[in-house]
């Protein structure tokens, strides 16, 4: 359906921006149904506290403002690290070859016309796959050269729905030329001789720290692809708060991941540390620093508190180049039951784990100190929830079952499944975590090193 709208030329800044109006309306209706379902579903924990799922979702990154704040926090933290280490910041834009674009622009972008090079077999999804493949080659070559850039990647649509990427990367000064050369090499490997490839396929701008911050370069791209706050009008002269809905519908329709962190420690332990109210008094120093960093807050935009110490978290994890060798990892368990569709349940986090080196003295061997590795598991605050689904607002009735089967939306597990009359109990933690006196346990596995 959406591919046909693109092929017919209905998706452009002159008509339906980013996605067709039909696809936008379908997405808005789906979001409204989902919101009504969350409002009508109540979760009650073992302490008797009851919330709607909408209230619980409003405390997570499912809420757009929280998602935006977290992304900006991570970007600002990376920038502080780059400044402290004397690294350079690069703002990069990578676009797809001409065959992915339904339209082309002329007269300095003032006029759009049909693109004779357009391939109808291409779509925003294949365009995103192309860009992801390009980045895979770039990352692999940089790794072979011992270069590990860090930053963030944003995927957003051009007016006709074709995706392009904005990247904010930080790297060592001595690696800047190599990074730029590798980026240009792979971005121009496909169709390098087509008109405009050298000028538009890969644009790289070095950030001047004296003129502004790196976060300022990407703030508008983050905001206009989430909720459009603080942007005003976009490049097409439309309110960003409205076009953000079209961007969200575009990403959902084509299955495009809009934001991705590049390098640095994983964000999973960061979020899990925010679930832990306190650590054992004898917890290792790096764990205490990471916990303090994740829970250090400040008022953001005068609205709510947000964690602001991503740079300290990176340092506690072993530095911005730690990658998968981060000191603190998620503690996972696999539920002993089948999933919703009868398959094996996926592993779930229930806390964090790390190791530390301790000096100890064996009984009877006074003055002889030895070292041992201590394996820590600190469980996070989680609850056992009872889910009660209530009635949602009445939907428009269909005149017949045949008409309903023709016009109904595809089934999903969010809100189109058969209502459950009886309460269902969901536990997201192992049995030990359900004991209220066992929330902040640290389990030790001692290994004596010679």
Are residue 30 and residue 164 in the same domain, yes or no?
no
Catalytic residue among 118, 221, 313, 350: 221
Q: Is 346 exposed, middle or buried (0-12, 13-18, 19+ CB in 10 A)?
A: exposed
Are residue 367 and residue 302 in the same domain, yes or no?
yes
- Residue 11 falls inside a structural domain: no
- Which residues have a Cβ under 8 Å from the Cβ of 57 and sit 6 or more positions away? 38, 63
CB atoms within 10 A of CB 327: 18
Q: At 92, phi and psi to the nearest 5?
A: -125, 140
Are residue 304 and residue 173 in the same domain, yes or no?
no
Q: At 139, phi and psi to the nearest 5?
A: -60, -40
Of 52-56, 133-137, 304-308, 370-374, the poorest mean pLDDT is in 304-308
Are residue 351 and residue 294 in the same domain, yes or no?
yes
**pLDDT tops 60 at residue 208:** yes
Model pLDDT, residue 234: 66
Indicate the pLDDT class of residue 257, thresholds 50, 70 and 90.
very high
Are residue 237 and residue 286 in the same domain, yes or no?
no
Are residue 54 and residue 73 in the same domain, yes or no?
no
CB atoms within 10 A of CB 356: 16
**pLDDT tops 90 at residue 161:** yes
Are residue 114 and residue 245 in the same domain, yes or no?
yes
- Residue 407 falls inside a structural domain: yes
Question: Quick check: is 341 catalytic?
Answer: no
Are residue 216 and residue 293 in the same domain, yes or no?
no
Task: List alpha helices for 41-157, DSSP H.
Answer: 53-57, 64-85, 124-144
- Residue 88 falls inside a structural domain: yes
Catalytic residue among 18, 150, 217, 350: 217
Distance CA 268, CA 201 (A): 33
Model pLDDT, residue 235: 66
Q: Please report, rounded to a whole number, the percentage of residues in the chain having pLDDT higher than 90.
A: 54
Q: At 420, phi and psi to the nearest 5?
A: -100, 125
Distance CA 317, CA 336 (A): 31
Domain count of the chain? Answer: 3
Model pLDDT, residue 365: 72
Of 8-17, 31-40, 107-116, the poorest mean pLDDT is in 107-116
Indicate the pLDDT class of residue 448, thresholds 50, 70 and 90.
very low
**Mean pLDDT throughout 402-423?**
44
Indicate the pLDDT class of residue 1, thresholds 50, 70 and 90.
confident
Q: In Å, what is the CA distance from 148 to each residue of 22, 94, 257, 390?
A: 43, 19, 22, 50
**pLDDT tops 70 at residue 100:** yes
- Which residues have a Cβ under 8 Å from the Cβ of 372 and sit 6 or more positions away? 357, 358, 360, 446, 447, 448, 449
Q: Which domain holds residue 218?
A: 61-262
Indicate the pLDDT class of residue 241, thresholds 50, 70 and 90.
confident
**pLDDT tops 50 at residue 86:** yes
In 328-442, at which residue ranges do the beta strands (DSSP E only) sit?
A: 329-333, 348-361, 369-379, 384-389, 424-427
Angle (nearest 5°) at CA 269 between 143 and 435? 150
**pLDDT tops 50 at residue 63:** yes
Are residue 213 and residue 329 in the same domain, yes or no?
no
Distance CA 260, CA 258 (A): 7
**pLDDT tops 60 at residue 157:** yes
**pLDDT tops 60 at residue 16:** yes
- Residue 9 falls inside a structural domain: no
Are residue 245 and residue 298 in the same domain, yes or no?
no
405 vs 409 pLDDT, higher one: 409
CATH, residue 159: 3.30.70
Model pLDDT, residue 299: 58
Are residue 377 and residue 387 in the same domain, yes or no?
no
**pLDDT tops 60 at residue 441:** no
Indicate the pLDDT class of residue 181, thresholds 50, 70 and 90.
very high
Are residue 250 and residue 288 in the same domain, yes or no?
no
Indicate the pLDDT class of residue 408, thresholds 50, 70 and 90.
very low
Q: Tell me if 95 sits within 8 A of 68, measured CB to CB.
A: no
- Residue 6 falls inside a structural domain: no
Distance CA 392, CA 384 (A): 24
Q: Is 289 exposed, middle or buried (0-12, 13-18, 19+ CB in 10 A)?
A: middle
Tell me the angle at which helices 214-224 and 64-85 cross, rounded to the nearest 10 degrees: 160
**197-201, 407-411, 425-429: which has the highest mean pLDDT?**
197-201
**pLDDT tops 50 at residue 220:** yes
**pLDDT tops 70 at residue 214:** yes
Distance CA 47, CA 439 (A): 14
Model pLDDT, residue 315: 95
**Mean pLDDT, the chain, as a whole number?**
83
Distance CA 316, CA 283 (A): 13
Angle (nearest 5°) at CA 261 between 413 and 144? 125
Question: Quick check: is 217 catalytic?
Answer: yes
Model pLDDT, residue 305: 55
**pLDDT tops 90 at residue 301:** no
Model pLDDT, residue 212: 81
**pLDDT tops 80 at residue 170:** yes
Of 123-132, 293-302, 305-314, the poorest mean pLDDT is in 293-302
Nearest to 446 by CA among 379, 330, 365, 356: 356
pTM: 0.82
Q: Which of 232, 262, 292 is the last residue of a domain?
A: 262
- Residue 10 falls inside a structural domain: no
- Residue 76 falls inside a structural domain: yes
Model pLDDT, residue 410: 47
449 vs 312 pLDDT, higher one: 312
**Mean pLDDT throughout 199-219?**
88
Distance CA 63, CA 382 (A): 20
Segment 348-401, tens digit of pLDDT: 999 999 999 888 777 767 777 888 889 999 999 888 889 888 876 655 443 444
226 vs 124 pLDDT, higher one: 124
3-state secondary structure of 163: strand
Q: In Å, what is the CA distance from 91 to each residue of 97, 133, 180, 194, 367?
A: 20, 20, 11, 24, 57
Continuous segment of H or E residues that includes residue 253: helix 240-254
Continuous segment of H or E residues that includes residue 252: helix 240-254
Segment 322-348, tens digit of pLDDT: 988 999 999 999 887 777 778 888 889
């Amino acid at each position: 359906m959406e591919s046909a709208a693109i092929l017919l030329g209905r998706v452009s800044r002159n008509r339906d921006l980013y996605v067709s109006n039909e696809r936008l309306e379908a997405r808005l209706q789906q979001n409204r149904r989902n919101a009504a379902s969350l409002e009508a579903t109540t979760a009650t924990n073992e302490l008797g506290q009851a919330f709607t799922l909408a209230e619980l979702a409003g405390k997570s990154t499912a809420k757009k403002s929280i998602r935006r704040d977290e992304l900006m926090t991570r970007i600002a933290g990376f920038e502080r690290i780059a400044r402290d280490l004397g690294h350079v910041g690069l703002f990069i834009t990578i676009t797809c070859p001409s065959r992915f674009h339904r339209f082309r622009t002329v007269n300095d972008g003032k006029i759009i016309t049909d693109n004779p090079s357009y391939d109808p077999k291409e779509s925003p999804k294949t365009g995103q796959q192309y860009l992801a493949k390009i980045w895979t080659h770039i990352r692999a070559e940089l790794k072979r050269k011992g270069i590990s850039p860090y930053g963030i990647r944003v995927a957003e649509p051009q007016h006709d729905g074709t995706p392009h990427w904005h990247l904010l990367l930080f790297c060592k000064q001595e690696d800047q030329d190599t990074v730029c050369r590798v980026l240009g090499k792979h971005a121009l490997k496909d169709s390098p001789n087509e008109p405009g490839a050298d000028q538009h396929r890969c644009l790289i701008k070095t950030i001047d720290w004296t003129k502004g911050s790196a976060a300022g370069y990407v703030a508008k791209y983050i905001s206009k692809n989430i909720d459009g706050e603080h942007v005003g009008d976009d490049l097409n002269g439309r309110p960003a708060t409205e076009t953000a809905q079209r961007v969200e519908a575009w990403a959902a329709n084509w299955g495009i991941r809009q934001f991705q962190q590049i390098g640095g420690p994983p964000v999973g332990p960061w979020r899990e540390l925010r679930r832990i109210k306190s650590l054992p008094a004898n917890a290792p120093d790096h764990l205490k620093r990471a916990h303090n960093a994740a829970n250090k807050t400040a008022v953001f935009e005068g609205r709510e508190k947000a964690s602001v110490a991503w740079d300290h978290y990176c340092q506690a994890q072993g530095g911005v180049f730690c990658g998968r060798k981060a000191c603190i990892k998620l503690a996972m368990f696999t539920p002993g039951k089948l999933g919703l569709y009868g398959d094996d349940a996926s592993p779930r986090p229930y806390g964090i784990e790390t190791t530390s080196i301790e000096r100890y003295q064996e009984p009877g061997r006074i003055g002889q100190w030895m070292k041992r590795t201590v394996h820590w598991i600190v469980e996070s605050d989680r609850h056992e929830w009872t889910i009660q689904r209530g009635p949602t607002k009445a939907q428009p009735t269909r005149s017949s079952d045949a008409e309903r089967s023709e016009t109904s939306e595809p089934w999903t597990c969010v809100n189109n499944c058969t209502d459950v009359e009886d309460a269902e109990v969901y536990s997201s933690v192992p049995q030990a975590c359900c004991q209220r006196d066992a929330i902040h346990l640290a389990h030790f596995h001692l290994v004596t090193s010679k």
